[in-house]
A and B are shown apart, each in its own frame.
Chain A
């Protein structure tokens, strides 16, 4: 594997100097800049409204935001000694699913020994709102008591998807963080010294997905064109192996339909060149989406390197440099369209992961080669340092602070690099250098190339990284080429989508009156009808364009020709 080294120009460890790749595949990947996450949960809520507001998925959050340190959702999911998710190396050094190979899986098919129970997530509930208005006149103020959404009985709310948000529950809960336990008692949990940051999580759309490997029916698959990992709802038979197989616990069991469901990376939007709902609505504007080219023939080898701490470098070694003409030629020979290769060159994700090397993978030690990466958070260091009277944004001070910062590097390293602190330090130093550099620029002081030089970058790169991270323009955050496949793509109106089975993730609940209008009209609209779809396929209603007055265009099929307004 390529040695970790910081080179002056461009990224390193992209397999440069090696022979041209035999095959090239493209993946739509994400980077989140944790420095900017304010933990508002907008992403979770909009995701839920889009994908999991149906019966059977009440407890499901394709996107969730955890406070770290904390137990996460489901509780303690990172403890793979307990859940057996992801991959491991067997005695002969071969990569096998941690829960066992094919025979062992099938022998456990009648009851999955590693499946989390609903209580490991939380029991979803609602409130008896009706009593607020229906209660007879009396002395007591009526209350809306909580009711379980699972069995309808009155319940007491004892845990939720975000119970330890903002360190809620204090040291008692926080101490159950599996990562905190790993780094031992060096960590202070007293309130005066406590630290926290937010970790938004979606499915990682891994290069080596253990959920796919675990599915006995072959219903889960990774899409060749864009690497999105999906569940074929028509082929899923409810064996639940994927739920436990995913170390990030990002596959959920719909208890109504008896099928597995997962984050789809909003593929209908990605196909149209639009960012996912969580990215689009992110208040902190901290999510980046773009194409990464990689060499599929290196993935297996990279995922089997012996030392967990080499996995980050190994994964970098799978990524290819789209600026390399050999790579571009191989990509187009492998069927990656030209606009995808150009998009990969402009990809913010490629820049943050490979060029600047500030983004790190989440839990590479699970060996699934995750493709949602994170820029570690820096802010609390600056604040802590400023309080001591030092200049928080002076380069020299910042570098010193990183060694003694409030969020322990060891903790970040457990999350992002299997415990190896050096890549985390390198990333934080670059972020600190960028601040110091840009402060000089903003104060009108002369640029000091030595600041950039001290982290192996140049001033142009500093400015470019600043532009990407701090200004974060919409067009630069999301560089998503539109979908391709087999030559022609005319939109999704003409072919069925396997998610649209009754009760499936593509369908909204028909009996809940408030939600029924999301369902695509069953009757194909005549081509003269008003509304968006003027073809003869099912029409789509875009409620984003609706001003709230009257009836949205195309919401109902026209009753008679003259009636439509």
Chain B
């Protein structure tokens, strides 16, 4: 078992990270055309207009919660005198609500994908690989939040979070993960699968989040093509 744990929590994360970075770089370099939301709103709009914002906003909140929960060490919140109970209640409430919204949104989206023929037809192989993983991650995460926080017998900030931070110190704390409850392990493992799939599935569109739009002038002008590489003296016949 010891070797398995080392492989899962000590080696695998680095493999996934390399795959994630290299895959994304490859995708950007060789398949920029393929980076798109691949939206199916054209085929079905009614369900999507409810479920998609629910899923996406829920997910963004969840991601924010992970950043706080994994990166901010318990010692810091203690130093700031955030009461443990308040922290937990907040995590349960916001995390629980956001997670529920994401899971509910995703359920509707998947149901829509399966039941609307045109949407089903437009699904790709990577979608079929991605959706089960996404569901497992979200459900396991939600269960961990609700059950874990409610019963209060496992503090992930003293377990999973320590393992996560130890990864970046290049000294993985395998034990912290080995002692974590099963749902946390499942959540972490499928989470890694998600990162591995990321560059190769429609998830890449997250990288395209158009924040630049907020500061850009409305109308974009572009020249027909970039100036020629060679310096010419302005006369085409001398090219």
Chain A residues engaging chain B, CB cutoff 8 angstroms: 97, 102-103, 105-106, 109-113, 115, 117-118, 150-153, 208-209, 212-213, 215-218, 220-226, 232-240, 253, 255-259, 271, 483-490, 495, 501-504
Most central of A111, A115, A234, A271 by chain B CB within 10 Å: A111
B contact residues around A495 at 8 Å (CB): 225
For the complex, give the distance between the alpha carbons of A487 and B226 in Å: 11
B83 close to A (CB within 8 Å): no
For the complex, give the distance between the alpha carbons of A541 and B236 in Å: 26
Which of B35, B40, B56, B232 is close to A237, meaning CB atoms less than 8 Å apart?
B35
* Shortest beta-carbon distance from B30 to chain A in Å: 11
Q: Is the interface of A mostly helix, strand, loop or mixed?
A: loop
For the complex, give the distance between the alpha carbons of A226 and B224 in Å: 8
Q: Are B220 and A111 in contact (CB under 8 A)?
A: no
Most central of B122, B210, B232, B239 by chain A CB within 10 Å: B210
The A-contacting residues of B in range 38-97, CB under 8 angstroms, are: 38-45, 48-50, 52-53, 55-57
A contact residues around B45 at 8 Å (CB): 111, 115, 117
Q: Are A239 and B210 in contact (CB under 8 A)?
A: yes
Q: Are A218 and B220 in contact (CB under 8 A)?
A: yes
B4 close to A (CB within 8 Å): no
Name the residue of chain A whose CB is nearest to the CB of B208: A237
Q: Are A223 and B222 in contact (CB under 8 A)?
A: yes
For the complex, give the distance between the alpha carbons of A103 and B215 in Å: 10
A contact residues around B55 at 8 Å (CB): 110
Q: Count residues on chain B whose CB falls below 8 Å from chain A CBs.
A: 49
B118 close to A (CB within 8 Å): yes
Most central of B40, B48, B218, B234 by chain A CB within 10 Å: B218
* Shortest beta-carbon distance from A54 to chain B in Å: 14
Q: Are A258 and B39 in contact (CB under 8 A)?
A: yes
Q: Are B221 and A221 in contact (CB under 8 A)?
A: yes
For the complex, give the distance between the alpha carbons of A106 and B212 in Å: 11
Q: Are A486 and B210 in contact (CB under 8 A)?
A: no
For the complex, give the distance between the alpha carbons of A209 and B222 in Å: 14
For the complex, give the distance between the alpha carbons of A209 and B36 in Å: 23
Q: Are A151 and B236 in contact (CB under 8 A)?
A: no
* Shortest beta-carbon distance from A217 to chain B in Å: 5
B contact residues around A488 at 8 Å (CB): 228, 232, 236, 239
Name the residue of chain A whose CB is nearest to the CB of B105: A110
For the complex, give the distance between the alpha carbons of A428 and B177 in Å: 82
B33 close to A (CB within 8 Å): yes
Most central of A151, A487, A490 by chain B CB within 10 Å: A487
For the complex, give the distance between the alpha carbons of A191 and B32 in Å: 54
B1 close to A (CB within 8 Å): no
Q: Are B213 and A106 in contact (CB under 8 A)?
A: yes
Which of B50, B121, B216, B221 is close to A151, meaning CB atoms less than 8 Å apart?
B121
Q: Are B49 and A221 in contact (CB under 8 A)?
A: no
Which of A109, A218, A223 is close to B223, meaning CB atoms less than 8 Å apart?
A223
* Shortest beta-carbon distance from A61 to chain B in Å: 15
| A–B pairs, 13, beta carbons within 8 Å | A110-B53, A111-B41, A217-B208, A218-B210, A220-B220, A223-B221, A224-B221, A225-B224, A226-B224, A239-B39, A255-B40, A487-B227, A502-B33
